[in-house]
Structure 1
């Protein structure tokens, strides 16, 4: 029970006992007063009636005596008046046995009043004339007591209710700092920092609030320091500081994840020969400035082609792993790169070769060395033939064209023909954290993974429909299988569409009992395009979520505390080499510490052997996922 309720109940009980005590004292005193009043009235009545009857009894006027008794009986509250005439051996009796009026029967049956009675002997000198008996009626006393105590009880009840309301308001006001401290403590427990509590007027609470605010600020600063440390380590290892792009080590690490995921696409190699003659004519400062500008334009051009990895691999060469497999579109990208670099030159009439582009498609079994060699050959052909761009489209890996995939995807969406499988995310204690859902399409008895049709879905604007369809399907499965907790991947295209979040919210409302067992997994590239726009939609859904391929984009780690995901899935490029003897785990450790500081789990992906599991266990990773736990069919 909360302190607020304890104080409220205790205070109300004390007030109730006070009211009951006061009411009991008032009830007892009123009852005694009415009983005494009735006793005095009976004595006075018997005395006055005896004086009035004596003359009639002396004259033996029975009718007169009876008239006096009737007048007295009718004018007062008496239960019985009886006169025994000694001379005539006669009795005159008047009785009123009616129950009290205006009083509940149960109240009059409590026996609170005896009525009072008095007996007197009427004499004339030394001679006894008669015996008079007067007994009061309790009805009037019950009526007076009932009316008085009812009004008092009503006032006490109203007063108690007013005290209750006033006490609730007062306690809420006085205990508000404690409530704020409780909320702040919960936020700190969940690794949410930065919010300060207003200082209360109460001295003791003021000191506590100051301590809480100071602790929250220090924890926030500590998290930011850890995030900055991780970013410094990553930039030191993977950033080309002149261009602001990744370096060759960055391309190698990222390509490992890219090729292992069998995502296809192409490798684009750009040779900016303009940098050589710019260095000869204007010096290294002009060259470095041009490097930065070219890097900026390459980022802008590649961003429109979806998921990509961009790096500077030598003095004048850049390489881009891109998810686009269409040779025609790749040729357009190469032309756009050459055109954009040419526009940066001051002399538009300069006929020197400014840049050339070589592009090769990723084939099954490729590694980064083979890709770079093939791309370098394409680059040389472009330079020798003076064509500007060469696309080596030999042995394309796609069996279906874009329009065929579009038609097939729309057909499967209409017929709900997806095949769903799951792969477990396990912690190092052997417990299952959750399962990730994988979507595939079967065509001609071959199951094609999402990497085959996701580029088509994003190109033709089907990403939102695909995501909503899969999420609704998974929610229906969760209704029938309460033991499951499933994570669903969301496309980058959907993340930045307001309509998607609105429709998703409507779907989740229909499945409110099971939505707490749904996890959304967003690609890190979606946050790289504007993480601020995703905070509000994610907070409004009231659904846990995580970040996939975490670590591919620079500078996102420092914003992790504002994003507050439940988990981050580390990019395979950082964990694939953990078994190598010369592996440097400093950056991985820094990322994990930063994630832990804000309450997020860290998950290693594509773990295939028990040896990898044992090695990851010695690092700061919380859980793992991969073919060490093979996928299972869900639907």
Structure 2
């Protein structure tokens, strides 16, 4: 499989790189230390040479003067006076030795001191030795040479002077070096601060945050870079805004109802066309709910159109509120007095949802609405049924309901028509989440990915590849639920988990199960779907990040897919989640992109890698408006560094149009159907066959 590292490398800093400020600081410190050491060494060496010459000069002067002084007395047999003079000079301690020899080199007078220096370290004496020369002077007796006087100065005082000089130079140079380094550090900070801000600006641009640097550096070259970068960011931001405005304008004109802002009948037709023609493998089934505002005509006639509009807007708000409880529900306004909700349910969840709608409208009803607030009918879709025939069937049900009203509904707690009772669902969900309950209570600390045999038997993992050309970009994972020997509808499981307050536990159990199955597939890339509850829970985020980091060596490259509607619910919270996972090395995909028919501006500032276009657009690519919309969507995403995936590609013609529109990757049964993970892992080492379109 190909890696998705290209998109990640664009936003992640290379941990092996060394900052320019660090490199310059190291260089300057090395230069400062070299300069400091050279200053001390050169100064000490010069001082040593000077002292050597002074010792030689002193010894020569002493040899000349002492030789003249003792010359009248060296010719006598009695050398007492000469000896006294030599002793007087020698006893001062300034000389290492004084020696007088005759012409036959026989010593007549000799004095010698021990070479001992107090107050100077031995290592310094060895490192900077002073070697005073032996200086000589001839001593005359009248007209003849009586002998030679040799004098060698004692280096003790010179060593002390050299040591004191070296210490003074050391501390003075060190102080100057530190002050210079401090000044250079301040100067570097001042000079490089704009460079850090430029780096931050580039990083923000990679994260789809269009920010400008609001000052100009003093450095000429950096000013040019800042101008160019600000200009580029401004252009990208302007292009993003212009294309987003154009897409929003088209979206509003074609797909949105001007009064309520809800998707209109055309949007319903597009979404309807993307529904699977065959029943889903996990017992989910598409349902269409028709809601008629039964009193709208009377409200318009008796209270005016303004009251009628308020009536419609109130109904739209109530429907949206109920639709938020179902992850895949979409609300449409298909005519002046009619709304529709398209979603997928198991049979029991559909009955419960219809009952909740009826009770919501009964609560909203009042004398203002002479024929009741609204009427609700729901029907499952049957195979390849056309939207017109489904609506006709629902109209018939609604007419019978209005002519023969059903008795008032009972309490929701008593009216659940679900084949499985509430207590049975509690037992099933407890079995699904048993292995993670204790860790959740303990604060999400277990990152071991250990699963029980019971969990492995209750969950089945399937995967479906996403193709980029002929290569697999990544494979999306799906979990099928088994309980008591029967397969459960995923929509029912998630709906009941939400209703019973265990949706977060279920998410943790599913992620733990999927990651445990993916261990050892480190050379491949897989995607995991997350629900809204997981997306916005900080404790779950910390656990997920810690788990990824603790098992990094064994896990594949991961992509986490989240629903667009879940992201729009709290964009700031979602962005924090995305940032944490990006730091952990994962990539992010927003799936069902465009299904909410909302503005694309929320992409600005979201640090994501992929968007997966909702299948309703892919199935409507024959329409010029839809093609233009998808092309604009792709250009917007490419402009801010996001790759685009087309989902639910079922036909070759759809794939060809997507390629013409520069969509980056494709997913759907036309390319490769979902397969069992165990089957493909054991038989093919997680290598998928070529996509079916390229092989035809």
TM-score scaled to structure 1, two decimals? 0.86
Q: 1:22 to 1:109 in 2, by over 3 A?
A: closer
For residue 333 of structure 1, what is the aligned residue in structure 2? 356
Deviations 1:456-484 (A, max 9, x none): 22222222112223333444555522112
Contact 2:296 2:337 in 1 (8 A): yes
For residue 221 of structure 1, what is the aligned residue in structure 2? 238
Pair 1:244 & 2:261 matched: yes
For residue 408 of structure 1, what is the aligned residue in structure 2? 428
Deviations 1:128-150 (A, max 9, x none): 54432223344554554344235
| Aligned mates of 1:172, 1:592 — CA distance in 2 | 41
1:563 alignment partner, SS class: coil
For residue 529 of structure 1, what is the aligned residue in structure 2? 569
Structure 2 gaps, min length 5: 1-17, 411-415, 435-451, 679-696
Deviation, 1:381, is: 1.7
For residue 116 of structure 1, what is the aligned residue in structure 2? 133
Pairing of 1:2-401 with structure 2 (within 5 A): 4=21, 8=25, 26-54=43-71, 57=74, 60-63=77-80, 65-85=82-102, 91-96=108-113, 98=115, 113-126=130-143, 128-138=145-155, 140-202=157-219, 205-206=222-223, 208-259=225-276, 262=280, 263-264=284-285, 266-323=287-344, 325-326=347-348, 329-339=352-362, 342-343=365-366, 346=368, 350=370, 352=371, 355-362=374-381, 368-387=387-406
Q: 1:497 to 1:362 in 2, by over 3 A?
A: farther
| Aligned mates of 2:418, 2:479 — CA distance in 1 | 18
Deviations 1:601-624 (A, max 9, x none): 111112244443333211131111
Deviation, 1:554, is: 2.8
2:522 alignment partner, SS class: coil
Pair 1:574 & 2:617 matched: yes
Contact 2:21 2:188 in 1 (8 A): yes
For residue 657 of structure 2, what is the aligned residue in structure 1? 615
| Aligned mates of 2:380, 2:392 — CA distance in 1 | 12
Pair 1:483 & 2:523 matched: yes
For residue 589 of structure 1, what is the aligned residue in structure 2? 631
Deviations 1:239-277 (A, max 9, x none): 122333221221122233444584426322122131222
Deviations 1:476-508 (A, max 9, x none): 555522112222111123334444334434434
2:463 alignment partner, SS class: strand
Deviation, 1:445, is: 5.9
Contact 2:134 2:150 in 1 (8 A): yes
**Relative to structure 2, which stretch is displaced further, 226-235 or 76-85?**
76-85
| Aligned mates of 1:21, 1:499 — CA distance in 2 | 58
2:377 alignment partner, SS class: strand
Pair 1:624 & 2:666 matched: yes
Contact 1:603 1:623 in 2 (8 A): yes
For residue 640 of structure 2, what is the aligned residue in structure 1? 598
Q: 1:560 to 1:88 in 2, by over 3 A?
A: closer
Contact 2:591 2:613 in 1 (8 A): yes
Deviation, 1:66, is: 3.9
Deviation, 1:5, is: 5.7
| Aligned mates of 1:87, 1:199 — CA distance in 2 | 88
Contact 1:100 1:142 in 2 (8 A): yes
Deviation, 1:561, is: 1.0
Deviation, 1:176, is: 1.1
For residue 467 of structure 2, what is the aligned residue in structure 1? 426
Q: 1:105 to 1:448 in 2, by over 3 A?
A: same
Contact 2:541 2:580 in 1 (8 A): no
Deviations 1:130-172 (A, max 9, x none): 4322233445545543442354244324433432233122112
Deviation, 1:574, is: 0.5
Deviation, 1:386, is: 2.4
| Aligned mates of 2:353, 2:404 — CA distance in 1 | 18
Deviation, 1:571, is: 0.8
| Aligned mates of 1:331, 1:22 — CA distance in 2 | 90
**Relative to structure 2, which stretch is displaced further, 360-369 or 128-137?**
360-369
| Aligned mates of 2:607, 2:599 — CA distance in 1 | 12
Deviations 1:323-371 (A, max 9, x none): 454365234324235325533x53x7x4x45532222245666664454
| Aligned mates of 1:397, 1:371 — CA distance in 2 | 23
Contact 1:577 1:583 in 2 (8 A): no
| Aligned mates of 2:118, 2:172 — CA distance in 1 | 23
Deviations 1:53-106 (A, max 9, x none): 446545533455445434433423434322225699663333346476666777
Contact 2:204 2:211 in 1 (8 A): no
Q: Which has the higher contact order (CA 8 A, sep 6+)?
A: 2
| Aligned mates of 1:582, 1:171 — CA distance in 2 | 57
Contact 1:335 1:388 in 2 (8 A): no
Contact 2:291 2:375 in 1 (8 A): yes
| Aligned mates of 1:89, 1:359 — CA distance in 2 | 135
Deviation, 1:567, is: 1.1
2:620 alignment partner, SS class: coil
Q: 1:186 to 1:111 in 2, by over 3 A?
A: closer
1:546 alignment partner, SS class: strand
Contact 1:265 1:362 in 2 (8 A): yes
Contact 1:382 1:388 in 2 (8 A): no
2:378 alignment partner, SS class: strand
Q: 1:473 to 1:119 in 2, by over 3 A?
A: same
| Aligned mates of 1:245, 1:398 — CA distance in 2 | 30
Alpha-carbon RMSD: 3.7
Q: 1:118 to 1:611 in 2, by over 3 A?
A: same
